[in-house]
Amino acid sequence: MGALDDAISILGCYTLEEPALSQAELARRLDRPKATVHRALKSLKESGLLEYDEVSRLYAPGMRLFELGQISRSRNHFLDLVYKRVLQICEIGGHTGYITAFDGPDLMVLRVVRGSSPMAIASTPGYKTAAYATSNGRAMLAMLDDDAWKKRVPEPLPYVSPNVPANHVELMERIGRIRATGRSYSSNEILEGVSSQGVAMRDPDTMEIIGVAISYPASMGTPELKEKIAVLLDHMQTDLKRGLE
């Protein structure tokens, strides 16, 4: 077997039921020398096709593999449906919307709906930021069990701003409120003067967690606006779930 064959064989070992595997387990399944598997894993990791968790010592499909999957599934309707609904929400108030996915401890912007408001702030696709410091990132973390998100998020948490959770205890409190209410908020956290509301969903095909955030100037964040956006996001989640059942 050549290096490419080794890499293809390794990627073929992953399933939804087994999304992370150790080097030893991969070598056993493929009946290949550990040194050979190690070289292939190193190349896959460096290319972003696999990610390595130093705590669990497991390899799992990486963000680049997810991106390639999105390219091959460009006709898949889930992200397109999410995008269309975010576009509708943003058109109502002129706000800015983001669709994101995990990239290790961070989240990566996949798609952006730029608001019509002159104060609109928009990041470009590919932009990364700390998941624990955003409304959509915390909504995404809330979909994981406690062990999973604690492994994903560093401890101690790097300082971002006074309004961002300072440690795992404070982050757990935020996540608990999100799980109880289904709603996630942020204000003056990564960017001063910017508020956002976020939700998270799973792509039914890949089971990847997808986040959505609607951002707007903090000065506009009246209770009425927050409730209006929250209801629109709730309706989006409900309609998407119904449409994919």
Q: What is the mean pLDDT of residues 75-97?
A: 85
Lowest mean pLDDT among 39-53, 61-75, 83-97: 61-75
Please say whether the dihedral angle defined by the alpha carbons of residues 184, 90, 77 and 45, taken in this order, is positive or negative. negative
d(CA 163, CA 189): 5
- Residue pair 121/215 in contact (Cβ under 8 Å)? The answer is yes
pLDDT for residue 5 is more than 90: no
Give the residue with greater pLDDT, 219 vs 213.
Answer: 213
B/e letters for 46-74, b = 16+ CB within 10 Å, e = fewer, are: eebbbbbeeeeebbebbbebbbebbeeee
pLDDT of residue 75: 45
d(CA 239, CA 136): 19
Alpha-carbon dihedral 227, 80, 51, 201, rounded to 10 degrees: 30
Half-sphere exposure of 37 (CA within 13 A, CB side): 19
pLDDT of residue 219: 87
d(CA 237, CA 221): 22
Contacts for 27 with CB less than 8 Å, ≥ 6 apart: 33, 34, 36, 37
Q: Which helix (H) or strand (E) holds 159?
A: none
d(CA 196, CA 176): 18
B/e letters for 192-204, b = 16+ CB within 10 Å, e = fewer, are: eebbbbbbbbebe
Domains along the sequence of the chain with CATH: 3-61 (1.10.10.10), 76-244 (3.30.450.40)
State the average pLDDT for the chain.
Answer: 88
- pTM of the complete model: 0.69
Residue type, 186: S
- Residue pair 94/79 in contact (Cβ under 8 Å)? The answer is no
Whole-number percent of the chain with pLDDT over 90: 62
Q: What is the mean pLDDT of residues 178-185?
A: 93
pLDDT for residue 144 is more than 90: yes
pLDDT of residue 124: 78
Confidence of residue 205 (pLDDT cuts 50, 70, 90): confident
pLDDT of residue 91: 87
pLDDT for 114-132, tens place per residue? Answer: 877 655 566 778 889 999 9
